Structure 1
Amino acid sequence: MPDIEGACGPYFRSGPRIAAAVRWHMTSRFDGRVALVTGASRGIGLAIAQRIVAEGGRVCLTGRKQDGLREAVDSLGGAPHAIGVAGKADDEAHQLSTVERVIGEYGRLDVLVNNAGINPAYGPLLDLDLGAARKTVEVNVIAALGWLRATHRAWLGAHGGAVVNVASVAGLRPATGIGLYGVSKAALIQLTAQLAVELGPSVRVNAVAPAVVKTRFATALYDGREEQVAQAYPLRRLGVPPDVASAVAFLASDDAAWITGQTLAVDGGVTLGGGV
């Protein structure tokens, strides 16, 4: 369960009635709702799933490895709180069968979080293997569109809902060494805005753009020099998965009911100046 009182300190200090109202609201924003989170066996994806379940929702997690998914689902309390479906994020058959499974299991699908992403290519753009570049775009951009299309046709188109894409600050400005990853995330940010226009008013589409978050995926960006890297951040620390999960939960909930097409930088202030 998230630290609701810590996150809403001023409200809790203002009186027991307001405190109770905020506590109830924060722990029930996803009551009766179902979310699909891709790439959720660990890291940011799992933290997002944890936050949604903690606030009353039910979640389907996807990932490539069945064992990792099973452990993640167990950590969420198992059925009916969560289910896992293994497969490759850019496999259209996997997308369609997963969405079908969610509808069959829960009878609805209100929230899609496109979190799955890869970064197999490191270095200057002109030195990259073009096969790796194509795969990066397939998973980070085209797969996100595929997941949204599948969920829209199965549920969102008729019933409405919310989509949150997990982009990166590398999609907002150039980043040394991960240029192709940044290009794919810039495309995802533009995809977010375009789909917000096309799918409104019933479906809201937003994105978050994290800076360096302490996960296995990002280890190469800070391993052995975390304090040095953190000096570029006004908040003087790197992110942790719950930082991103909180922002995603906000954008996916009715608290963001008048927000669409936006990309929220979850970055400790690093985009105000300094390096990624």
Structure 2
Amino acid sequence: MTSPYGFEGRVAIVTGASRGIGLAVAEAFVAAGARVCVTARDADGLARAVARLGDAVGLAGTVADPAHLRRLTELAMDEYGRIDVVVNNAATNQPYGPLMDADPDRWREAFTVNVEAPLRLTQHAWRAWMREHGGSVVNVCTEGATHVGPRLGAYGTSKAALLHLTQQLAGELAPGVRVNSVSPGLVRTEMARFVWDRPAQEPAADLPLGRMGEPEDIARAVLWLTSDEAQWITGTDLLVDGGTRVRRAHEPTP
């Protein structure tokens, strides 16, 4: 991927970056001239991602571990001496199923990964660099955070909380740090495979733009939001869904 935005000399932390959206985001930053510090739970997958990225360092671990987020921040500072961008992409869609059947501990884990971890990492980056030098944070949310969906109650509720956290931090960290979110629709990732990998059905055929999203579609949105081209934008959620919400708005009322 090539980019019209110059990130030369800047450093980005990207979570959940061994594959899918996170890896595409990291690749977009490197293509734009940035250096990246990436993390993911899968150590082997992360090692392959770092080798593929080139100008990158990685630290395997879970964002649910507060100590891991601290070490990740320290790695970025030790290797590159600055943190200009944080992309909170790592997420879990578990527990999957009706909320009346949900294990409260698994429910709590969803909020730990999807809400608490983005806050903790933003805190670390703020204290280590952004408070004095500024920067940009993007939280990867979901198009489904604004409506009710079957079997994804924990995921949707936690992502709705992340949307509010995004706006809260945008108000608190201005003017030096911009905080925004990107909300993807259906994207061809492993996490969403259970939705799109159905041979008898094309789940995005009826979207206004006629296809499901690819990780690179989300990466371009993240790159723009963190660039100087978006320097007067904060507290905003950028919907990248191929027209899903437009389609829903025009569905006939039962």
Q: Same fold (TM over 0.5)?
A: yes
In the alignment, the residues of structure 2 paired with residue 128 and residue 226 of structure 1 have an alpha-carbon distance, to the nearest angstrom, of 30
Secondary structure class of the residue paired with 1:242: helix
Within-5 A mapping of 1:72-87: 72-77=49-54, 81-87=55-61
Residue number among 65, 68, 72 corresponding to 1:98 in the alignment: 72
- TM (norm. structure 1) is 0.87
In the alignment, the residues of structure 2 paired with residue 120 and residue 61 of structure 1 have an alpha-carbon distance, to the nearest angstrom, of 23
State the shift of 1:182 in Å.
0.5
1:41 aligns with 2:15: no
Show the counterpart of 2:178: 204
1:191 aligns with 2:168: no
In the alignment, the residues of structure 2 paired with residue 54 and residue 42 of structure 1 have an alpha-carbon distance, to the nearest angstrom, of 17
- TM (norm. structure 2) is 0.95
State the identity %: 49
Greater than 4 Å deviation, 4+ residue runs: none
1:163 aligns with 2:140: no
Task: Show structure 2 runs of 5+ residues with no match.
Answer: 250-254
Spell out, residue by residue over 1:249-268, the C-alpha distance to the aligned partner (whole angstroms, 9 max, x if none). Answer: 00011111000000011100
Residue number among 97, 122, 126 corresponding to 1:152 in the alignment: 126
Letter of the structure 1 residue corresponding to residue 72 of structure 2: T
Within-5 A mapping of 1:229-240: 229-240=203-214
Pairs aligned (count): 249
The farther-off stretch of 61-70 and 50-59 is 61-70
In the alignment, the residues of structure 2 paired with residue 232 and residue 135 of structure 1 have an alpha-carbon distance, to the nearest angstrom, of 34
In the alignment, the residues of structure 1 paired with residue 28 and residue 159 of structure 2 have an alpha-carbon distance, to the nearest angstrom, of 24
2:94–2:154 contact (8 Å) kept in structure 1? no
In the alignment, the residues of structure 1 paired with residue 202 and residue 56 of structure 2 have an alpha-carbon distance, to the nearest angstrom, of 38
State the shift of 1:273 in Å.
2.6
State the shift of 1:155 in Å.
0.6
Identify if the C-alpha distance between structure 1 residues 234 and 227 changes in structure 2 by more than 3 Å, giving closer, same or farther. farther
Task: Show structure 1 runs of 5+ residues with no match.
Answer: 5-25
State the shift of 1:131 in Å.
1.4
Within-5 A mapping of 1:1-276: 1-2=1-2, 26=4, 28-77=5-54, 81-225=55-199, 227-274=201-248
Spell out, residue by residue over 1:10-29, the C-alpha distance to the aligned partner (whole angstroms, 9 max, x if none). Answer: xxxxxxxxxxxxxxxx1x52
In the alignment, the residues of structure 1 paired with residue 200 and residue 59 of structure 2 have an alpha-carbon distance, to the nearest angstrom, of 34
2:187–2:213 contact (8 Å) kept in structure 1? yes
Identify if the C-alpha distance between structure 1 residues 100 and 168 changes in structure 2 by more than 3 Å, giving closer, same or farther. same
Show the counterpart of 2:252: none
RMSD: 1.4
